[in-house]
Amino acid sequence: MQHVTPATSLGSRDTRLRLAFVSAVVSLVAVFAAVGSTIPLFNIYRAEDGLTTAGISLTLVAYSAATLSTLLVLGRVSNHVGRRPTAIVSLGLLVLGCLLLLNVHDLGILLAGRFLMGLGAGLASSSLTAYIVDAAPTRPTWLASVASSQTVMLGLAVGAIASGALVQFGPWPRNFIYLIVVGLLLLSAALVAISSDTVTPAPGGWRSLRPSVRVPVRVRHLLPVAAAVFLATWATGAFYQTLVPALVEDQLHTNSPLVLGLVFAAYMGPSALGAPLGSRFPPATAQRIGMIAFLAGWIGVITAITTGALLLFIATTIVAGAAQGIAISAATRGLLYDSRLTDRAPIFAVVYLLSYSGATIPSLISAQLSSVFSVPHITLGYGALALIATLLTVIAARNPHAGTISQPSE
């Protein structure tokens, strides 16, 4: 395994390293704010451009397929070329995606824009999250895992709320949010450019492009439960992106873009609040608590959809969102246990491969089923997935082993 030499003493925690941490966090928020900004516009695209629920689901598939491909091929490249250049390229891809979405008039343009966003988000998912962990302060001890896992959710929530507000009340409802996000992405790139890198360039970059899935042996036993957590929670996030716009309009009787953004944020935003709560418990215990609460939230969501109760829907969505924060951060904390600098980008590549698989596969299935079953019926399938993941977590959750040798497993 190629070793990476720290470019800055991680023990000193000097001003430049703190700047790197802040820059990486701001950049990851910007990346996923860009991703979330499209969601409140989906109903406008449906109404004005004739897009269908199946077509909207395919946009998530295009986004996730690009992300998965990038993670498989480029998930380790920041170990060799550095965190900064990899992060700047990812931000550039998101800028291109936003610029393309300024001219959405058919499904093809929307698919292409989301595909570019997927490429950028995939590259950012491994490089920026590893950058955050590299540069994070040592105290509090939970900060690295919470910041790296929950900044994504925070960015999605911020992007959805800002987009919903600007679409409903701002000028140029189809475009203004993308211009704002482009500015945020360019600011993030500037911050990263003036920050110190946490790795120095090292040979082996071309070899790192060989598709690989790798985690250290000492945490390999944690992968089945972590996979269940990531798959179920990210499948739910995809549900809120692709099917909830139609549900909010058809079942809950509102077509407000701001309400749509708030509903999506009600799932993503509380995740960042739930994550520190889970840090009070060992990873296995926190995952069990999080997934049981997540299932309870899902039961409430299905009840709200059945009865058409918008307030109940939002309240139980908040419960599910906070619960996913507890479970996701605990799973991430377990996988990062005692990790070396060279472990982190591959670990996050695996985390996001599992996560985006959870977002992609159910979305692809639901897109095919949407012509046969109603959205409320498809919702029951997502609830069943949450039940299966919760049962597996309760039965099989384990803590990381201490004192084992850090060796990769392919």
Separation of alpha carbons 73 and 66, rounded Å: 11
Number of domains the chain contains: 1
Residue 101 tokens, joined? 């979405």
Query: 166 with 55: CB under 8 angstroms?
Result: no
Q: 314, 24, 19: which is closest to 152 by C-alpha?
A: 24
Give 137-190 pLDDT, tens digit per residue: 777 766 777 777 778 888 888 888 888 888 888 888 888 999 999 999 999 999
Separation of alpha carbons 146 and 193, rounded Å: 24
CATH number for the domain that contains residue 279: 1.20.1250.20
Residue 7 lies in a domain: no
| pLDDT on residue 3 | 44
Residue 11 tokens, joined? 């023990």
Residue 57 lies in a domain: yes
Q: In Å, how far from its chain's centre is CA 44?
A: 24
Residue 318 tokens, joined? 């908040």
Residue 209 lies in a domain: no
Residue with the two structure tokens 């570019």: 116
Query: 204 with 80: CB under 8 angstroms?
Result: yes
Residue 121 lies in a domain: yes
Residue 410 lies in a domain: no
Report residues of the chain scoring pLDDT below 50.
1-12, 403-410
Helix (H, G, I), strand (E, B) or coil at 187: helix
Q: Using CA of residue 166, residue 169, residue 173, residue 175, what is the dihedral sign?
A: negative
* 395 sits in which H/E element: helix 375-396
Residue 233 lies in a domain: yes
For residue 181, the enclosing domain spans 15-198+216-400
| pLDDT on residue 112 | 92
Question: Could you tell me the CA-to-CA distances from 313 to 37, 42, 210, 250, 262 in Å, in that order?
Answer: 21, 20, 44, 14, 12
Residue 211 lies in a domain: no
| pLDDT on residue 410 | 39
| pLDDT on residue 184 | 95
Query: 180 with 162: CB under 8 angstroms?
Result: yes
Query: 217 with 404: CB under 8 angstroms?
Result: yes
Residue 34 lies in a domain: yes
Separation of alpha carbons 386 and 382, rounded Å: 6
Q: 408 — phi, psi (to 5°)?
A: -80, 150
